[in-house]
Structure 1
Amino acid sequence: MVHLCHDDAVLCTGRQRLGAHRFAVTAAWPAGTSVPRPGHGTHHDGIVVAQTIRQAALLLAHAEYGAPLAHATLLRTFDFAIDPAWPGSPDRPTALDIDVTAEETGHRGGRPTGVRLRMTVTSAGRAVGTADTAFEWIPPAVYRRLRGAYARAVDVQPPLPAPVPVDPSVLGRTGPHQIAVGATDRPDRWVLRTDFSDTALYDHPVDHVPGLALIEAAQQIATLITAPHTFLPADTRTTFDRYVEFDQPCHLTARTTRGAGTLAVEVSGHQAGELVFRTTVTGPFHP
């Protein structure tokens, strides 16, 4: 239901219909999903938040709106926000309740072909986050025509050698396999890294770079350009324009906008001269 192969990666634990287009989804984060932030205690891991939202959306699409498991999903937008002051729990599981309101966005033959989902996330009665995502599902034959020569999933390491990763310690990561960006000769330009040994992002063979891998790259860039200061992402908004392929480099650039006690980092990805995605990460920032 959530497009995963590894049981321990599944975060959603149940669902309940509350109305015609309203649902309750429960989820649980295992111990260790909160990460240390020097001088700021522990905070949520942004990619775990995104994984939770993604899984809840897929669960409802398949279980409640009849999206066939064999159909491909086409992600349009993926926005989520999390309270940066919420520490999570570094040493015990965290239970989450997700209230979801859905809106059908397309139909074929009297059946829905897409949904927009708005979510409110609570933990122990405390509102800790929101999400808004829209996607559709398309039949296998249509997807094959859409993808052409790229329709076949890549089940070995991508054809391009992974670029040298940035220093994992700067990002609070344990090793190169968790690094989604490599440095270039420009301080405001990076190149996307794809490493299939990172099963948090590459749970199963795929024919294009997953959207969550692009969001993770954007969040890592936001951390890099604000180092050595601590930047806590609170709001992440992403628009996907094109598929990102494995056989050519995807270059990433960033620009920042300062507000009153906040910083917004807009990361744009380009491949073969085309804009492929844009993610804006915003959060409190006090250098």
Structure 2
Amino acid sequence: MPKNNKFIGKLEEKVRKTIKKYNLIDSKDKVLVACSGGKDSTTILYLIKKLGYNVKAITVDLGIGSYSKKNLENLGAFCKENKIKLIKISFKEEFGHTQCYLRDVLKSKGIKLKSCSVCGVLRRYLLNKKARELKATKLITGHNLDDECQAVLMNLFRNTLERSSRLGPISGIVKDKKFVPRVKPLYFCLEKDVEEYSRLMGFPVLYQKCPCSYDVFRNQIKNRLNSYEKRHPQVKEHIITYFLRTLPKLRKIYKQNKEILLCKNCGEPSKKGFCNSCRIISMLKN
């Protein structure tokens, strides 16, 4: 077997084993894959389809100029070629504004919210809401090993361990009918391996960062991890292995007294009277 085929087979087997070990998906699930049009989400969409699951794709148009337009074109072509239904939603239709507009207005008001934080909150809100409306039983994301390592270390350094309790191959600590379970089949796959797989398979994706992605702290963590990885191979795997040992304890601590409320404005799940999405949108009007 050629070297490339061995690499492809190895990554595919790793994903299959992750799904089986953590019971991420079963044959009865109605699976929705959250897709940006990038290498990670396109790779996992392809693999979930290849493994024979009942899958659809969903994408959120952020309205980030030519970047969003090209990603949508690529994803649309990929789904058409692979006979996968693609559901499209957008910030503009749902919130009345694009991501770029939201970022600029919040910044002009002196509100110190990172662009990635705003995007993440609003995207998760829309994806969960739409997945529930579509009666999906699992929402798959393209998070890889590097993503998880970065999140673990960021939460450690910021002393936000409650956020880490919501990490893992299956996200979240509270089960509720309004939450569609989010799972990460690429959990043990290195980002560089996912990119190599995507390139070898010839997937139509942009290999560049989102132009709005400039989280300095995350980039510092990412660069430092990559530097350590060169000198100490498997350091990322070791971090996640240790983290998964501590995760049950973290979840036990932070699951206590976790009451899910409903947002007074939109009716979606919330820890407080108003959900984070509605709070962000309200900042535009005040």
Tell me if both proteins adopt one fold, taking TM over 0.5 as the criterion.
no
**Per chain length, whose mean CA-contact separation is higher, i.e. which structure has more relative contact order (CA < 8 Å, sep 6+)?**
2
Between Structure 1 and Structure 2, the one with more strand by share is 1
Superposition TM-score, scaled by structure 2 size: 0.29
Structure showing the higher helix proportion among its residues: 2
